[in-house]
Amino acid sequence: MKYSILVMASPTAGQGSATAVSFARSLLARGHTLHNVFFQGDAVGNGLANAIFPQDERNLVGEWAALAEQHKIELILCISSALRRGVLDKVEAHRYERAASTLHPAFTIGGLGQLVDASANSDRLITFGH
């Protein structure tokens, strides 16, 4: 079955983001496919390159990145949510004259149209909220 995932939860508050990445790993392990993962609202923190996690805690940024690399999954951050929270790729950092990009290279910044695409092209679209 073809899945997509919408994540709304902050990576540092509650369990939503952690459950989402575990769910993604499980469905791939069972032979399903993952079309894309879309991050909206506070969930864009999952794509922050410079987040540092204590060694005895889950590093969700790293977990998503490993998943994306291993399975060639698109990880897309909603652009308006990302800009508001300072998660910028090189293009946006340049456009808004900010010193540096803050986006982890495993992620891309995109529009809500890609969420619509996920809905149209997946058998299941699963939300992970607060």
- 80 near another protein (CB under 8 A): yes
For 79, the 3-state DSSP assignment is: helix
**DSSP code per residue over 26-41:** HHHHTT-EEEEEEE-G
- Sole window of 23-31, 88-96, 97-105, 113-121 interacting with another protein (rule: CB under 8 A): 113-121
- Site residues for another protein, 24-43, by CB under 8 A, read 40-42
Pairing of strands 124-128, 107-110: unpaired
Among 7, 78, 118, 125, the active-site one is 78
Residue type, 13: A
Q: In the complex with another protein, which residue's Cβ is closer, 94 or 124?
A: 124
- Sole window of 22-30, 50-58, 61-69, 105-113 interacting with another protein (rule: CB under 8 A): 105-113
How far is residue 128's CA from residue 83's CA, in Å, rounded to a whole number?
Answer: 21
- Smallest distance from another protein to CB 127, Å: 4
